[in-house]
Amino acid sequence: MDKKPLKTADPAIYDLIQAELSRRRTVLEMIPSENHTSLAVLEASGSILTDKYSEGYPGKRYYAGNEYIDKIENLAISRAKQAFGVPHANVQAYSGTPANFAVHFAVCQAGDPIMGQNLLDGGHLTHGWKTSFSGAFYKSVQYHVKADGYIDFDEARALAREHKPKLIWVGASAYARQFPFKEMAEIADEVGAFLAADIAHIAGLVLGGAHPSPVPYAHIVTTTTHKTLRGPRGALIMATEKGLQKDPELGDKIDKAVFPGLQGGPHNHQTAAIAVALGEAMWPDFKTYAHQVVSNAKALAQSLMARGLKLVSNGTDNHLMLVDLTPFAKGLGVFAQDALDKAGITLNKNTIPQDPSSPFYPSGIRLGTPAITTRGMKEKEMEQIGAWIAEVVQEVQDRRLPETKEERSVYLKQFARDIAENEKLKEIKKKVEELCSQFPLPY
């Protein structure tokens, strides 16, 4: 086989990767679940380890030739245990969704009651939403956030007493406040449930000491590795001391749920890159990074609110915030998202608590600071970015989503043409590009 580099072997894919790289260089990546990894993480995840089969666990493989793979996986496991302070870690889950599937598989029977935060209130699909395995295979009940944007644990307690869930999830994808691990643990302990903390979004903040750890309170902790943790796509599933006290077999059950329960061979290139990312997260400068992510989010929130934008819960404790656009109109999220995209600011439309519109046409936008903090931006830049966002929102605040499907499609097409020609957006995009050029990507 020819030893051709990608550039000559497959120019079509090569060029698209380069185009994606240029896009990323010139935009403010503010989707709060994204980040820019280090060169070292990229190198490990693009390595020759992708070739190897190693079904099973270190020392107990179904294939030969795994002496180095075993060492790599053991390093990833020991770093995860050390970083989070847990006695058991599984590093094989392909991503956050299969990791959460494995948790259900480990501690529940099909049809058992489970409980999680409602998707439209910021929760994750895998915590019991109807279109996910977790809502289809289990009897799911969902708790909500209150009108003030904070988790309603009185409701959660009442639901837990009524439905006696086997498994309770705490953790979410669009929640701007600290998670009430202690309160949710009291509820889980009262009804004898396993408490699983899904810290997919905030794992990097937890490791950097910028968000309290769930480890003293939860039995199980899951996380993706590619969000604030700044590693490759992947996930960790951990059992805590408290979890092993509740069920000494818990670690074993988790491992068996991942393999052979729902996966085959582990993705060893990911495992290696996870080990690298965990190594990086234990360096002192990662603490600085995690705290800067939160300081930046607070500065950005201030900048937005000072310009009259309303934030769910009036601010943030972590890396993200939700802008509630209902003071202008319902269903404005898509307009703001697409106009901001044109201005070089990438974020996503999102439901807000008790959204008067629909999940596809929600009334808010969600944005965060992990990736732009990786580039080195600080409070001063946040103030400026907040001003640009407010200016873009001003360009779309008078839009109204038509009621019928046909009207909507025509209206949105015209909207796309309008924003492509909008001079204000072009002007902001230029300034965004200038700012980005001063803060290079880590690769």
Ligand X SMILES: *Cc1c(COP(=O)(O)O)cnc(C)c1O
**Residues classed as catalytic:** 53, 55, 198, 224, 227, 233
> Which residue's CB is nearer to ligand X, number 174 or number 272?
174
Enclosing H/E stretch for 221: strand 220-224
144 binds ligand X per the rule CB under 6 A: no
Stretch that binds ligand X, among 146-154, 185-193, 195-203, 297-305 (CB under 6 A): 195-203
Concatenated DSSP letters of 78-146: HHHHHHHT-SEEE---SSHHHHHHHHHHHH--TT-EEEEE-GGGT--GGGT-TTSHHHHSSEEEEE-B-
Nearer to ligand X, 198 or 395 (CB): 198
Q: Answer yes or no whether residue 173 interacts with ligand X by CB under 6 A.
A: yes
- Listed ranges 41-49, 165-173, 375-383, 413-421: which one lies at the site for ligand X (CB under 6 A): 165-173
Q: Are 166 and 113 in contact (CB under 8 A)?
A: yes
Q: Which is nearer to ligand X, 224 or 313 (CB)?
A: 224
Query: DSSP character for 439?
Result: S
- Pull the structure tokens for residue 321: 């915030």
Q: How far is the CB of 169 from ligand X (least distance, A)?
A: 8
Residue 172 interacting with ligand X (CB under 6 A):
yes
Of 97 and 350, nearer to ligand X (C-beta) is: 97
Select from 148-156, 171-179, 323-331, 345-353 the region that touches ligand X (CB under 6 A).
171-179
Q: Does 207 bind ligand X (CB under 6 A)?
A: no
Closest approach of Cβ 316 to ligand X, in Å?
A: 16
**Measured between alpha carbons, how far is 125 from 119 in angstroms, rounded to an integer?**
6
* Distance between CA atoms of residues 108 and 87, nearest Å: 22
Nearer to ligand X among residue 198 and residue 317 (C-beta): 198
Q: Which helix (H) or strand (E) holds 197?
A: strand 194-198
- Site residues for ligand X, 77-96, by CB under 6 A, read 95-96
- Is the distance from CB of 124 to CB of 198 less than 8 angstroms? yes
How far is Cα 178 from Cα 267, in angstroms, rounded to an integer? 32
Between CA 367 and CA 257 the distance in angstroms is 34
* Single residue of 29, 33, 119, 271 touching ligand X by CB under 6 A: 33
Nearest-approach distance from CB 190 to ligand X, in angstroms = 24
> CB of residue 229 vs ligand X: minimum separation in angstroms?
11
What's the rounded Cα separation, in Å, for the pair 359 and 173?
14
The torsion angle over the Cα atoms of residues 344, 345, 348 and 352, rounded to 10 degrees, is -140
CA distances (Å), origin 107, targets 90, 101, 137: 15, 10, 13
Residue with Cβ nearer ligand X (224 or 422)? 224
- Give yes or no for residue 26 binding ligand X (CB under 6 A): no
Q: Which is nearer to ligand X, 44 or 93 (CB)?
A: 93
Binding to ligand X, residues 107-136 (CB under 6 A):
124, 126
Nearest to 371 by CA among 24, 84, 16: 24
Angstrom distance (rounded) from CA 123 to CA 117: 5
Answer for which of 36, 79, 177, 201 binds ligand X (CB under 6 A) is 201
Structure tokens belonging to residue 74: 């053991």
| Amino acid of residue 307 | R
* Shortest CB 275 distance to ligand X, Å: 18
Residue with tokens 């279109």: 131
Q: Which is nearer to ligand X, 100 or 296 (CB)?
A: 100
Query: For the chain, first and last CA: distance in Å?
Result: 29
Contact between 104 and ligand X per CB under 6 A = no
- Residue whose beta carbon is closest to ligand X: 96
Region binding ligand X by CB under 6 A among candidate stretches 45-53, 61-69, 167-175, 211-219? 167-175
Q: Which residues pair with 424 in a beta bridge?
A: none
Q: Which of residues 288-317 bind ligand X (CB under 6 A)?
A: none
Residue type, 216: P
Site residues (CB under 6 A) for ligand X, limited to 234-273? none
Q: Find where tokens 């929102």 sit.
A: 393
Least Å distance between CB 174 and ligand X?
Answer: 8
Nearest C-alpha neighbor of 328 from the set 388, 386, 395: 395
Q: What are phi and psi of 195, to 5 degrees?
A: -105, 120
* Residue 224 within binding range of ligand X, rule CB under 6 A: yes
Residue 198 binds ligand X, judged by CB under 6 A: yes
Taking CB under 6 A as the binding criterion, the range among 14-22, 107-115, 170-178, 427-435 that sits at the site for ligand X is 170-178
Nearer to ligand X, 97 or 374 (CB): 97
Considering CB under 6 A, how many residues would be counted as binding ligand X? 14
Binds ligand X (CB under 6 A): choice among 45, 92, 97, 271: 97
Contacting residues toward ligand X, per CB under 6 A: 33, 95-97, 100, 124, 126, 171-173, 198, 200-201, 224
